Structure 1
Amino acid sequence: MSFLRLTLTQVLLLLENRDLTCLTETANLTVTVSVTRGAQQPSDPPGASAEPGPAITSAQSGNTVIVLPSLTGQTPQTTGDVHSSLETSGKVTTCPLISDPIPTPSSLIQPTTAATTIPPLPSPPMASADIFAEPIGTAPPPASIPVRDDHPVPRKGITSSTPLQTNKFYSNFFLGDQTAPTYTYPYGIAWGAGRGAAASYGMTISHIEANQRVFGPNKPSGAAAYFINPVGIQSMVVSAEELGGQTTIGVDSVTAFSARIHLLPGPGTVPAVSFPLVQGMPFVTAQYTGATPVIRTGVFFRTVTRVTQDPKPGVAKYTFQLEDGKIWRLYAYATTGDQLDLQVVNNGYARSSRPFFGTIQICKDPGNGEAVLDQAAGVYPTTVELSGSVNGDTGSYTFKFAKEGHPDGKLLMYALPHHVASFDSTTRAAIQDVQLQTPTKGVGVAVLADQWTMVESNLPLDMNFAPWSPDRGSITAISDQARAVIRGFAVQEISQNMGAQSDLDSMYFSGKALAKFAIMLVAVNDIVGDTGLAQSGLNQLKGAFARFATNQQKFPLVYERAWGGIVSSATYITGNDGADFGNTQYNDHHFHYGYHILAAAAMAHLDPAWMEENRAYVDALVRDVANPSTQDPYFPTWRAFDWYHGHSWAHGLYASYDGKDQESSSEDMMHAYALKMWGEASGNTNLAMRGNLQLAIIARALQNYYLYKSDNAVQPPQFIGNKVAGILFENKIDHTTYFGANIEFIQGIHMIPLLAPSPFVRTPDFVREEWDVYFSNGRVDNIPGGWRGIIYGNLATIDGRAAFDFFNSPNFDPGWIDGGASLTWYLTYAAGI
């Protein structure tokens, strides 16, 4: 293999003497060729035995020119795959509404003649200086929940002595065949597994520009049905000569914010190269401890330039221009021994001349980033420490990045639009004029700082169980006429068989039924003012809830030690990994347990003594979903909520080429609201303040990424006409649902359940725009079943009178209320708003 390195002075001398024998003049053309991903590739390094063709040269002042022999017999891969079909592994495709008819009660419940006086809760303690510092608990889960050591999903390659994360961005590295991408934002990275154009066993790196997205066909609204970022484009690949067909993957240092991925030459061997992963990292960092680095590409190098002026002491720099015209930069920080010396074999393959000790970092330069990237080179994040506080109605949270590497320089990271909009002044001053497109969260903005602080100045502290308005806050005063109407329906609904309605084979549906009745009872007690009726209903609801608190439901819960969490026994018993919406595989826990936590919060509001009796059980559900502290030895921290993205991921232990996803943004809102209200009812001020902060962050994030007003500048203009995301993945957004494509399904899944925080997240302006696009002018009256009630309930946010009249109509069909909602609450909400 021939390669040549020339200084600029040598090039100029050659040109002056007209001696061009060492150089071939070529035109720098952008070549775009479509290659089927996964086509047969040689097992040897691409082109390693091929005769070199015409050389491609690069000359820059002070740089070394490397002449690249062409890789014959192969073409650059500049297009990838799109997965436009909806992957339903682990997803239940039935409607998430309780649609079974509710029997009319044979008799009406009688109010308690001497209503129990509800003593006020003692004043809760002040929130800690750091609301994330203290665990909710450290005791084992309640004895009613049995323990088992096994789980249906194996822990492939994971080394950890603590509970494991199940819903985080890096989980494709230990799920399925371990080749599906991980989306670190802005990059997509994946183990090559010897596949694709580069045929490498190293780590492939891809970055997709906005103009590379694939849009679906237009829907009746004029908006695209979906947009997808292609996967499988192997722009750069970081590997080692030691890696081959026996390569295995190891994972350790797993946290809610980070993980480290190891590529091992074979089972039981020492890693050849390791990759610390943190969301927002601008460099893909590879750690070497004596292996021989290899750099490959499926797009092909057009030019490779060794920059002779090191950006920092001990840091070598290479610039790669690929055949798609994009610029990638490589920085190598040698911690021991010689600097990295890359030998370019051909325009698909380069290797180090010797083993290397240190880090290699690869990044895409958007065109104006070289100076900033030089400044940050050699420094990389390993994890994030989260802290936060609340002062009045203002909350703040801080990402303190743990960093390693070169001693010179601050850390560079990419922030998302909702971060940038809430930065404090210090963090805002660290913003750089460098941006990269992210897959589904707009443009990432580079920030040169070792920590970020975000501020939310509108925490919903005054929000309780009553209807809530952005202008008026909590609303408990309604007219006497409305109060009488609501009480009439409440007597009927509270007389229903609460035990039977909640005795289901699903934690999700059971939780919805329990929460429905609990919210109804608080409305009757606090707003209608009939404390006796509320108390009679509460006595019945306590019995229904006790079935779950004592773990006597149809599929009891278990605590499994393999991953570390409380799961339904449904999959263990049935063998169906999609049972109860995949609860056993950690799908949707914040939805399922959120409803139970919300029901418990409302019941505790009505009877604080009951709260004390059930605290351990409810706290265990909270800890499974939203444990804030590594001091808790039984649960991972923040299973569902992603503090980088600003919302939760519902997708559990299933591999997916488009990454994690979440369908119902409004149920994400519900889970944060449930945490807030349980914190208030149980006297856990830190939990309540975290819930308030999460609600504010979720509102900001959803209004950027999920709920689209006409002025949304984050998502593609071709897509925002849909008004809601549908299903948001890390790598695509699809305006559909897992259970059907009816417009009431797609829009409605982002409405349920209607609760006090609904207008906080789904603002009146947004609700008006969505109503006008899909439901105005009588179109809502063509929607059958419980979805009609959901959409009219949503209408109450902007037109309480129209919604109240609908629900109070003499011709009202009870089938328009789904089993997870009540006329009592819908009417109360409409009357208040």
Structure 2
Amino acid sequence: MNSISTSSSSMASPFLFPLTQSTVMPDPSSFFSPNLLSSPLPTNSFFQNFVLNNGDQHEYFHPYLVKSANSSLSLSYPLMFFSTALLYQVFVPDLTISSKSNSRCSSSNISHVVSSYSDLSVTLELPSSNLRFFLVKGSPFVTAEVTRRTSLSISTVHGIVWLSSSDYFTKHTIRLDNNQTWLIYASSPVRFRRTSSSEITSGKGFYGIIRIAALPDSENPNSEQTLNRFSSCYPVSGDAALKKPYRVEYKFQNRRSGDLLMLAHPLHLKLLSEKESDCTILHDFKYRSIDGDLVGVVGASWVLKINPIPVTWHSTKGIKQDSCKEIISALVKDVDDLNPSNISTNSSYLYGKHVANAARLALIAEEVSYPEVIPKVKNFLKQSIEPWLYGTFKGNGFLCEKEWKGLVTKQGSTSTGADFGFGIYNDHHYHIGYFIYGMAVLAKIDPDWGEKHKPQAYSLVEDYINLGGKSNSNPYYTRLRCFDLYSLHSWAAGLTEFEHGRNQESTSEAVNAYYSAALMGLVYEDSDLMATGSTLTALEILAAQTWWHVEESNKMYEEEFVKENRIVGILWSNKRDSTLWWASADCRSCRLLIQVLPITPITEVLFSNVGYTKELVEWTEPELKDAEESRKGFVFALEGIYDQENALKKIRKLKDFNFLTNLLWWVHSRAKGNLYEY
């Protein structure tokens, strides 16, 4: 599974949508090293704030918030702020590392440069400070390389109440008046002296490696001994490989002797195979985190194994014959209403949803054995999709931009707000995922069309699911544009700076994007695409169940937040919010809807926890009286998982619900004893 592009590699060259010069794209040359600018650049990365605007907004590296500004780097081992409506970690510059450099670069206005990056790390150079930081996700140490003999400064916004050094001056302990203890390890002796109540400096010039770690505030008395033991070996980068289906392999590149100590979040721990990994879990060594406790793992090679999921065109266990009549009745009406001229939007997101909704009708027709309507659905899909592939759609279309390298829309190339920010790489997996679903279904019901438009199909899907590497056949798109291989789910925010880092609202639409890619692999008999799409679908589902779905018994989040919320609205790298971009926290059915749509066969895996699903529906119901019919339909759909009869009664009373066929298909396929367990 080295590349999803195996089947398209036989083409003379990968398909490229027409080029455009975006007028709204930020300049990547401000922060990326020149040698990186010729390659596709990350647009939804865990370090994205470092390369936007002034580059001085913090990012979360587990367990530290890290901020680079004014040729210095600040670390925060954050405390949690929480209420009934939100949770977030508060950034306070607990320690700031800089140098008193006489370097020729000291007058530079550049605060930092990204010299390299990988799936799990970024290397940050501070040219005017002779400092290079290896920022690796999940490292309990922040590691700096001092590249020239330099006098170091370590300061804090708190007061330093105690400073001590080891006999050989290679370890230093700082206690602050906020009850934090920080440990500093040096590769060679360095003497620090207190120059004020909030700063220490090294008297003589130093070069080499400095490692800094906060002492965990856990009850484990051996935490400092653990940090001492693993202070020598440090990671400089980390890669995540998708070599086999339902398997992710981490490999951390490290230097110096000894074993490597890293941290795993709760989903890592659920998936980590100690038998196949070259690592050991230290269950008593923990750091707190908004994502749950981060637990020590010793070893540079991890294997994460995921249970397979069914990636199918139809429901996994079928529909009873006596249920088909009602579905067919709705199907005929919905298909009769199909007309490309009735699509009143030119938004790539909203238009894509029309395409995917129509594609559902063809698959339902197959499942209920009513093929008579499929030709009309096929014609609708052709007429609605092809203008986007050939640049003939009035007012919009897909284009390629050359700076960051990837797809934008015609509207998005001149406006950051058009197409919900698609032109600055927001929501790419959502928008394109809907088109990919429609194209996969159309290729299934019309193989000749699928073969003819295979280059465009691959170009679209590779924009967000490209694996890159030497065997990559499409060099125009970055590696896994939206998916974070440490967090194990996607981000949607694109090239916008946010205080709390990357964010994602609709996990279900992210699931749909990778599920659709897997279906495309299925229809084109591309085992690589099928495997990659299926693996990312499974991970996105597990992440949603871990961090978005809030059961009453949830122990990860604060009690006040759990009491009032059954599902997260927007999940940020450093925040959990009950609001949505388009609705307040009070609209519970809005939150449910955006975390459920679109309803497809993969939805039964996403909501396979029946007990939680019932909690979510009951939490939402009091607000339904005045809710729109469309929102009610999604609540009733989930109710159908555990109470099919009552859900059907409520659905039959809906007066205005687009594509009723799909809702009826869903509930009829939820027959008692017909549920998927994941």
Mark yes or no: TM-score above 0.5: yes
After superposition, give the CA deviation of every residue in 1:531-569 in whole Å (9 maximum; x if it has no partner). 231123212221111111213232222111100111112
Is contact 2:161-2:177 (8 Å) kept?
yes
Partner residue, 1:26: none
Change (3 A) 1:149 1:516: closer
Is contact 2:68-2:111 (8 Å) kept?
no
Is contact 1:800-1:831 (8 Å) kept?
yes
Change (3 A) 1:244 1:319: farther
Using the alignment, how far apart are the partners of 1:435 and 1:528 within structure 2?
52
Partner residue, 1:109: none
Identical counterparts, % of pairs: 23
After superposition, give the CA deviation of every residue in 1:372-399 in whole Å (9 maximum; x if it has no partner). 21222132222222224557xxx32210
Matched, 1:784 2:623: no
Task: Note the 1:279-318 alignment, pairs <5 A.
Answer: 279-290=137-148, 291-308=150-167, 316-318=170-172
Using the alignment, how far apart are the partners of 1:385 and 1:428 within structure 2?
15
Partner SS, residue 412 of structure 2:
helix
* Alignment-mate amino acid for residue 251 of structure 1: V
Partner SS, residue 483 of structure 1:
helix
From 635, 640, 646, the equivalent of 1:796 is 640
- Give the structure with higher Rg (CA): 1
Is contact 1:136-1:623 (8 Å) kept?
no
Matched, 1:373 2:227: yes
Partner residue, 1:672: 514
Task: Note the 1:551-630 alignment, pairs <5 A.
Answer: 551-553=391-393, 554-573=395-414, 576-630=415-469
After superposition, give the CA deviation of every residue in 1:638-685 in whole Å (9 maximum; x if it has no partner). 110111111100011011111111111111111121121111111111
Change (3 A) 1:139 1:569: farther
Using the alignment, how far apart are the partners of 1:144 and 1:425 within structure 2?
45
Partner SS, residue 145 of structure 2:
strand
Matched, 1:399 2:250: yes
After superposition, give the CA deviation of every residue in 1:490-533 in whole Å (9 maximum; x if it has no partner). 122112243134463211111100000001111112x1212231
Partner residue, 2:490: 648
Deviation at 1:293, TM superposition (A): 1.8
Change (3 A) 1:782 1:190: same
Is contact 2:389-2:398 (8 Å) kept?
no
After superposition, give the CA deviation of every residue in 1:738-782 in whole Å (9 maximum; x if it has no partner). 111122212221111112111212222211111122217xx5343
Partner residue, 1:517: 358
Matched, 1:214 2:77: no
Partner residue, 2:614: 768
From 150, 158, 170, the equivalent of 2:32 is 158
Deviation at 1:309, TM superposition (A): 5.4
Is contact 1:498-1:541 (8 Å) kept?
no
Is contact 2:399-2:407 (8 Å) kept?
yes
Matched, 1:536 2:387: no
Deviation at 1:696, TM superposition (A): 2.2
Partner residue, 1:86: none
* Alignment-mate amino acid for residue 285 of structure 1: T
* Alignment-mate amino acid for residue 26 of structure 2: V
Partner SS, residue 430 of structure 1:
strand
Partner SS, residue 229 of structure 1:
strand
Task: Note the 1:400-549 alignment, pairs <5 A.
Answer: 400-404=251-255, 406=256, 408-426=257-275, 427=277, 430-432=280-282, 433-438=284-289, 440-457=290-307, 459-461=308-310, 463-467=311-315, 474-480=316-322, 482-502=323-343, 504-525=345-366, 527-549=367-389
Change (3 A) 1:681 1:307: same
Using the alignment, how far apart are the partners of 2:527 and 2:377 within structure 1?
28
Change (3 A) 1:682 1:498: farther
Partner residue, 2:537: 695
From 123, 128, 131, the equivalent of 1:260 is 123
* Alignment-mate amino acid for residue 202 of structure 1: S
Q: CA RMSD in A?
A: 2.2
Using the alignment, how far apart are the partners of 1:704 and 1:163 within structure 2?
31
Is contact 2:359-2:442 (8 Å) kept?
yes
Task: Note the 1:333-352 alignment, pairs <5 A.
Answer: 333-334=187-188, 339-352=189-202
Partner SS, residue 413 of structure 2:
helix
Is contact 1:581-1:588 (8 Å) kept?
yes
Using the alignment, how far apart are the partners of 2:491 and 2:251 within structure 1?
22
Is contact 2:116-2:123 (8 Å) kept?
yes
Partner SS, residue 400 of structure 1:
strand
**Structure 2, unaligned stretches of length 5 or more?**
671-678
Deviation at 1:244, TM superposition (A): 7.4
From 528, 533, 545, the equivalent of 1:686 is 528
Using the alignment, how far apart are the partners of 2:578 and 2:540 within structure 1?
20
Is contact 2:44-2:495 (8 Å) kept?
yes
Is contact 1:376-1:409 (8 Å) kept?
yes
From 165, 170, 181, the equivalent of 1:327 is 181
Change (3 A) 1:384 1:245: closer
Task: Note the 1:235-250 alignment, pairs <5 A.
Answer: 235-242=94-101, 246-250=109-113
Using the alignment, how far apart are the partners of 1:150 and 1:562 within structure 2?
11
Change (3 A) 1:133 1:330: farther
**Structure 1, unaligned stretches of length 5 or more?**
1-127, 194-200, 217-223, 266-270, 311-315, 468-473
* Alignment-mate amino acid for residue 678 of structure 1: M
Is contact 2:120-2:240 (8 Å) kept?
no
Partner residue, 2:588: 743
Using the alignment, how far apart are the partners of 2:107 and 2:162 within structure 1?
27
Partner SS, residue 641 of structure 2:
coil
Partner residue, 1:63: none
Using the alignment, how far apart are the partners of 1:636 and 1:510 within structure 2?
25
Matched, 1:204 2:64: no
Matched, 1:178 2:68: no
Using the alignment, how far apart are the partners of 1:351 and 1:656 within structure 2?
33
Using the alignment, how far apart are the partners of 2:7 and 2:201 within structure 1?
48
Which is helix-richer, 1 or 2? Answer: 2
* Alignment-mate amino acid for residue 740 of structure 1: A
- Higher mean alpha-carbon deviation, 576-585 vs 602-611, is at 602-611
Is contact 1:564-1:636 (8 Å) kept?
yes
Partner SS, residue 421 of structure 1:
helix
Task: Note the 1:95-110 alignment, pairs <5 A.
Answer: none
Change (3 A) 1:700 1:287: same
Structure-1-length-normalised TM-score = 0.74
Is contact 2:7-2:526 (8 Å) kept?
no
* Alignment-mate amino acid for residue 535 of structure 1: P
Deviation at 1:798, TM superposition (A): 2.2
* Alignment-mate amino acid for residue 645 of structure 2: R
Change (3 A) 1:677 1:431: same
Deviation at 1:134, TM superposition (A): 6.2
Partner residue, 2:661: 824
After superposition, give the CA deviation of every residue in 1:774-825 in whole Å (9 maximum; x if it has no partner). 217xx5343223212222223222223333333334xx312x33xxxx1111
Partner SS, residue 559 of structure 2:
coil
After superposition, give the CA deviation of every residue in 1:567-600 in whole Å (9 maximum; x if it has no partner). 1121334xx3111110011000011111111111
Task: Note the 1:45-194 alignment, pairs <5 A.
Answer: 128=1, 142-148=15-21, 152-155=25-28, 156-159=30-33, 160=36, 161-193=38-70
Partner residue, 2:597: 752
Change (3 A) 1:650 1:135: farther
Using the alignment, how far apart are the partners of 2:181 and 2:321 within structure 1?
66
Structure-2-length-normalised TM-score = 0.91
